[in-house]
Amino acid sequence: MSSRPEFHQLLDESWKCAKTVLCVGIDPSNEMFPTSAPLDELGILEFSTSIVDAVSQHVCAIKMNHAHFASQGHESELESLIGYIHERYPSIPVILDAKRGDVDSTAEKYAEEAFNRYSADAVTVNPFMGWDT
């Protein structure tokens, strides 16, 4: 895993460079996928990278929804997509939209997943775990 600046530094620079606060979300699902493209590993990655390429000059961040990838078994494509963004557009921060929230020991594992496995620059969290916690 390469060393990247802290998220707030990346975002601050990205805002200044792109002159926008627009963040684009990539949440692949059957409903939004072009009928001409297969909803398989290569199709997901090609579709997602084409979105990244199209918006890269117009956004200050890119967010991927973990559930949209994981529910279809496309976690490796999520990893590849984040790697693609870091390689091609290193100044754009990547947010893993996972909405994670749990007790300390589990939260640590979610952080390991987000930052070590996926190399995300930030992750969304949900501080509310339910009435029983």
91 — pLDDT class (breaks 50, 70, 90):
very high
Cα 66 to Cα 118: distance, rounded to the nearest angstrom: 10
pLDDT tens digits, residue range 3-43? 888 999 999 999 999 999 999 999 987 777 666 666 677 88
Least confident of 55-59, 77-81, 106-110: 106-110
Answer whether 46's CB lies under 8 Å from 81's CB.
no
pTM above 0.85, yes or no: yes
Q: With 60 as the cut, is the pLDDT of residue 2 above it? A: no
Within 1-133, residue ranges assigned H as helices are: 7-18, 41-55, 66-70, 75-88, 104-112
* Euclidean distance between the first and the last CA atom of the chain, given in angstroms as a whole number: 35
Distances (CA, A) of 38 to 30, 61, 68: 10, 27, 16
Nearest to 18 by CA among 57, 61, 63: 57
Token pair of 20 as six digits: 């926008």
45-64 pLDDT, tens digit each: 998 999 999 999 999 999 99
The domains found in the chain, sorted by start residue, are 7-125 (3.20.20.70)
96 within 8 A of 60, measured Cβ to Cβ: no
Residues taking part in catalysis: 99
